[in-house]
Amino acid sequence: MKKLFAVIAALMIIGGIFCSCKNTSENAPEADAEEEIEYQTLSVDDEEYYSKFKDKGISINVYNWGEYISDGADEGTLDVNAEFTKLTGITVNYSTYATNEELYAKLKGGGSSYDIIIPSDYMISRMIKENMLKPLDFKNIPNFKYIKDTFVNPLYDQKNEYSVPYMWGTVGIIYDKTLIDENDIDWNILWNEDYADRILMFDNPRDAFAIAEIMLGYSINTENPEELEKAAEKLKEQKKVVQAYVMDEIFDKMGAGEALIAPYYAGDAITLMDEYEDLAFAVPKSGTNLFVDAMCIPSGSKQKEAAEMYINFMCEPDIAYATTTYVGYSTPNTAAYDMLDDEIKNDGISYPDDEYLKENTTVFYNLSDEANQKMQDLWTDMKSSQYEAKNVWLVPAFMLICVAVSIVILIRRHIKNKKDIF
Amino acid sequence: MKVKLISAPYLVWMAVFIVVPLIMVGYFAFTDGNGHFTLEYIADVAQYTNIFIKSIWLAAIATVICLVVAYPVAFILTRLETKVQGTMLMIVMLPMWMNFLLRTYAWMTLLGNNGLINRLFELVGIGPFKMLNTEGAVVLGMVYNYLPFMILPLYSVMVKIHKSILEAAADLGCNSRETLFRVVLPLSLPGVNSGIIMVFVPAISTFIISRMLGGGGNLLIGDLIEMQFLGNSYNPNLGAGISLVLMVIILLIMTIMNQFNDDDDKVLL
Amino acid sequence: MKKLSRIYISLVLMFLYAPIFVLIVFSFNTTKSRSVMSGFTFDWYQKLFQNELIMMSLRNTLIIAVIASLSATILGTAAAIGISSMRKFPKMVIINITNIPIINPEIVTGVSLMLLFVFFAARMNLEFGFVTLLIAHITFNVPYVILNVMPKIRQMDPHLYEAAQDLGCNSVQAFFKVVLPEILPGVISGLLMSFTFSLDDFVVSYFTSGSTSQTLPITIYSMTRRKVSPEINALSTIIFAVVVIVLIVKNVIENRPVKPFLKAKEEGR
């Protein structure tokens, strides 16, 4: 009988809700741990500052890149968000985005109020220009003192009012070293037909265009429409050897051996190399992009002080250390850097010396609105190939024709029905 | 009468949440960021004509494949014993109840260069084929996800064809093939009709299938729209324009499809 | 002929179930590989249950599905009753508008609602979150309820209502004692349909949810876009198991002998 079914369904629902309510995130290390695991601990200087909001039932919405925070999934690592909640009593609602443009779209659409976002350099300068960020009150972020001075007052936030650096790194190429020789690695290998269908490519306009622009000898911050178009042409040429346009999906595809080469960020390369011995990372000699991702508070935030507390927490040496070891990217936090093993400091990828950075890398800055629009249009076109619209009236005419045909058909049917009755 | 008033809350809801949003789409499509009327965005939609054509084409192929595969299934189901029919129908429909994303994801793992299918081919000695990130994979995804939506309407119409009609046809001299084409087929047309609509419309507007199985280089209309709102090219006006054109195309197709449908119950246009 | 049918159906079933079974099998794999089975373990299931995000989105999904389907059923049933007693023209108009969310591609429904919310977000300080998600779900659920209830109302003898009133019931009592039991099958199938659609909805939720109200399909989607872990496989297996159990239970209940129930009904009245 339907009633019994409804009862059973109701029980299952209640069971489901109950089960999901009961779970708390546990971080207890297993009894028989391997020798390599180090258990990270947390100690903060100023516990009193953090207890300001305890028991007030406050929550903040954090919007970050995917795989960009230590979440305790590996043995012995900290679950940063859980630790924050334990320390301060503030709940963290954590969600992720895959590209800066997605973040921008979500914020611009309005209606979502995030308290912490972590955009990249050029996106920060764009958001500052469009008044999308709140200026920070650095009195609430004393741990800012740990940030390395080369990252203070950066190009994208010259008076350093809106952001606190979180992670940085360089872009390079991850490849399967058993099949590809390191000396062959330069940007043009991504166009190489020998590896057709084994090549992955960035799924966001700026990173993709930057590679094409470096290959063509243009600045990665060019606003020249002709240069942008030539770069788009180059990307179109590449399309036939590209297996897929991806962002974080490369973890899966490179790991499973689906693809052999992919351009990506140094930090993720380190994570991949840790897990899969066959992979290696190299920065092409012709130059690359240096990026910095920094924490900001969007103008729609309703919990500014709690957000600033979160930022301060992320700058705690222990937390910054946990973040950099888990995520793999380079930290701008001097205290955390000091805690790192020499092995990491000298691996040649994570912490190139300042001179090397100055000579071989360029930082993005925000382009003009027209250049941005042009790039976005070219990007959509490249991914879909276009043909020029000859006439403004083409589409409206097409639509009118569709509607007219529908109406005609309806009228004919109506007349036919009327006739049938007789 | 007072009874009509009871539907008032719904009517208000309907107006606010069905009609107004559609008007908003139109508004965004025909205005620019500052609210001034412009045909620019609608005109820009023409740039993506080839994507529209590709989407319609792929959706059409998927629909035809679904129809061809599902028709025998539905027919065979109706000829089973009544006791078994219910269970078999349930077994066939069960995958539909699994989460759509997970099913698509499952194909991603199967079709990869190092996926299960290619491994099986390797065992037999045939080289790995590129299956994932192609248009074929997208069509496969569409067929896989929407096949139950074709089986169900076909089955519900065919099950109403009384066995005695088939027996009558046999009595009148038809062999099996003729029965199929001259009796069953015409009677099942309403089911074919609903099935086509239920497969074609989602197929033409999907973005998940093309993203997960198409590799990002095979954009469909759904991807385009999604990119304009939540993806890498924030342009809600263009997105609204594309949505509007999509709706008009579907309107046309449905009107044409309903031509073949004389069902009294069908109140859709 | 029969053998051919069996083979054909088996092939189709294999096609439908293969990906799901692959997912299930590899959920027990000791490594993350999805094409080579290295060992048997329940680790991923453990990790799944410890995953806060998944548990939270599961909870959200269930809560939204329950509330949305209940509200939609109430709203829709009331609407169906009211609409049935309308004159031909308003009835046709309203039914056509009601059908819009059903025919429209999901992405257009999602986008139009998103535009609506965005437009009013600025003016009314409305946030994307639980409320917007709920509104969206109710909006696309109500048409299905109406679609299910209206045929039942049409089948019902219109005089029953008057007869009840003649016998002394006021309108409310007449409704609950006479009308409701008659249309109950339609109401319940509407309720179940809404519940299922809400549970599995991805596209509309994707455009109308906020940071705090992610549903399970949305979480699954973001899981597939990042480092993929066999936790997804574990999740699929569990969902599959639940679906199988629910469908089996439903089938068993429906196939139970009906006679004793009818007898009891007669005696009870």
- For C225, the closest of A98, A111, A114 (CB atoms) is A98
Whether residue B194 is contained in a domain is answered as yes
Pick B230's closest partner by Cβ from A106, A203, A257.
A106
Average pLDDT, chain B: 82
Q: What is the 3-state secondary structure of chain A?
A: CHHHHHHHHHHHHHHHHHHHHHCCCCCCCCCCCCCCCCCCCCCCCCHHHHHHHCCCCCEEEEEEECCCCCECCCCCCCEHHHHHHHHHCCEEEEEEECCHHHHHHHHHCCCCCCCEECCEHHHHHHHHHCCCECCCCHHHCHHHHHECHHHCCCHHHCCCCCCEEEEEEEEEEEEECCCCCHHHCCHHHHHCHHHCCCEEEECCHHHHHHHHHHHHCCCCCCCCHHHHHHHHHHHHHHHHHEEEEECCHHHHHHHCCCCCEEEEEHHHHHHHHHHCCCEEEECCCCCEEEEEEEEECECCCCCHHHHHHHHHHHCCHHHHHHHHHHHCCECCEHHHHHHCCHHHHCCCCCCCCHHHHHHHEEECCCCCHHHHHHHHHHHHHHHHCCCCCCCCCHHHHHHHHHHHHHHHHHHHHHHHHHHHHC
Which of A406, A109, A411, C132 is CA-nearest to residue B247?
A: A406
In chain C the first and final C-alpha atoms are separated, in Å, by 51
In A161-195, which positions are buried (b, 16+ CB within 10 angstroms) versus exposed (e)? Answer: ebbbbbbbbbbbbbbbbeebeeeebebebbbeeeb
**CB nearest to A244's CB, from B215, B234, B241:** B215
pLDDT score recorded for residue C262: 56
Q: Residue A394 pLDDT more than 70?
A: no
Residue A185 to residue A175: CA distance in whole angstroms: 9
How high is the mean pLDDT of chain C?
A: 82
Could you tell me which chain B residue has the CA closest to the CA of C143?
B14
Pairwise CB contact (< 8 Å): C220 & B99? yes
Judged by CB atoms closer than 8 Å, whether chains meet at A243 and B133 is answered as yes
- Closest approach of chain C CAs to the CA of A3, in angstroms? 10
**B37 in C contact zone (CB under 8 Å):** no
Do residue B43 and residue A109 have CB atoms under 8 angstroms apart?
no
The whole-number pLDDT of residue B264 equals: 41
Provide ipTM, 2 decimals: 0.84
| Residue A398 pLDDT greater than 80, yes or no | no
Q: Indicate the residue of C132, C188, C246 with minimum beta-carbon distance to A2.
A: C188
Q: Which of B8-22, C12-26, C81-95 shows the lowest per-residue confidence on average (mean pLDDT)?
A: C81-95
Interface test with C, best of B56, B87, B102 (most C CBs within 10 A): B102
User: What residues are paired with A79 via a beta bridge?
Assistant: A71
Q: What confidence tens digit (pLDDT) does each residue in C120-157 have?
A: 776 776 677 788 899 999 999 999 998 888 888 888 87
Contacting residues of A for B44, CB less than 8 Å apart: 389
A376 to B217: CB separation less than 8 angstroms, yes or no: no
| 8-state DSSP, B31 | B
Mean pLDDT of A276-295: 89
Amino acid residing at B248? V
Q: Which residues of A touch C235 (CB under 8 A)?
A: none
Number of structural domains (chain B) is: 1
Buried (b) or exposed (e) across C105-127, using 16+ Cβ within 10 A? bbbbbbbbbbbbbbbbbeeeebb
Looking at the complex, does the CB of residue B144 fall below 8 Å from at least one CB of chain A? Answer: no
Q: If you classify domain A47-168+292-367 with CATH, what class do you get?
A: alpha beta
Assess if residue B144 is contained within a domain. yes
Q: Half-sphere exposure of residue B237, counting CA atoms within 13 Å on the CB side?
A: 15
The percentage of residues in chain A with a pLDDT greater than 90, rounded to a whole number, is: 19
Measured in residues, chain B has a length of 269
- Between CA B211 and CA B221, with CA B217 as vertex, the angle to 5 degrees is 60
Mean pLDDT of all residues in C70-79: 90
pLDDT of residue C252: 76
Q: CA of B177, closest CA in chain A: separation in Å?
A: 33
Domain ranges in chain A? 47-168+292-367, 171-290+373-384
pLDDT at A31: 35
pLDDT of A263 reads 92
Rounded distance between C-alpha atoms, residue B240 and residue A256, angstroms: 39
Domain spanning C51-228 has what CATH number?
Answer: 1.10.3720.10
Q: What is the pTM of this model?
A: 0.81
| CATH code, domain with B141 | 1.10.3720.10
Closest Cα partner for C172 from C183, C161, C187?
C161
Distance CA C184, CA C77 (A): 10
Domain that holds residue B238: 48-268
pLDDT of residue A1: 38
Q: Which uninterrupted H or E stretch holds C69? A: helix C52-84
Residue A95 pLDDT level (bands cut at 50, 70, 90): confident
C34 neighbourhood in chain A, CB within 8 Å: 256
For residues C192 and A393, which has the higher predicted lDDT (pLDDT)?
C192
According to the model, what pLDDT value does residue C174 have?
77
Q: Would you identify the CATH topology of the domain A171-290+373-384?
A: D-Maltodextrin-Binding Protein; domain 2 (3.40.190)
**C-alpha angle A212-A215-A216 in degrees, rounded to nearest 5:** 90
Query: What Å distances lie between residue B185 and B151, B191, B254, C193, CA to CA?
Result: 15, 10, 21, 29
Residue B176 or residue A84, greater confidence: A84
Summarised one tens digit per residue, pLDDT across range B116-153 is: 888 888 888 877 777 788 888 899 999 999 999 899 88
Q: Choose the most confident range, by mean pLDDT, from A403-407, C32-36, C220-224.
A: C220-224
CB-CB neighbors (< 8 A) of C1 in chain B: 176
C-beta of residue A246 within 8 angstroms of C-beta of residue A200: yes
CB-based contact (8 Å) between B233 and chain A?
Answer: yes
Q: What's the confidence (pLDDT) of residue B269?
A: 35
Interface A:B, Cβ pairs < 8 A: 127
Q: Which of C63, C212, C249 sits opposite A93 (nearest CB)?
A: C212
Tell me, yes or no, if A28 comes closer than 8 A to chain C by beta carbon: no
Q: State the nearest Cα–Cα gap between A206 and chain C, in angstroms.
A: 19
Structural domain contains residue B129: yes
Which residues in chain A are closer than 8 Å to B216, comparing Cβ atoms? 203, 244-246, 383
Strands A261-265 and A164-176: antiparallel
| Domain residue spans of chain C | 1-41+232-269, 51-228
Q: Residue C207: its chain B contacts at CB < 8 A?
A: 229-230
* pLDDT of B109 above 50: yes
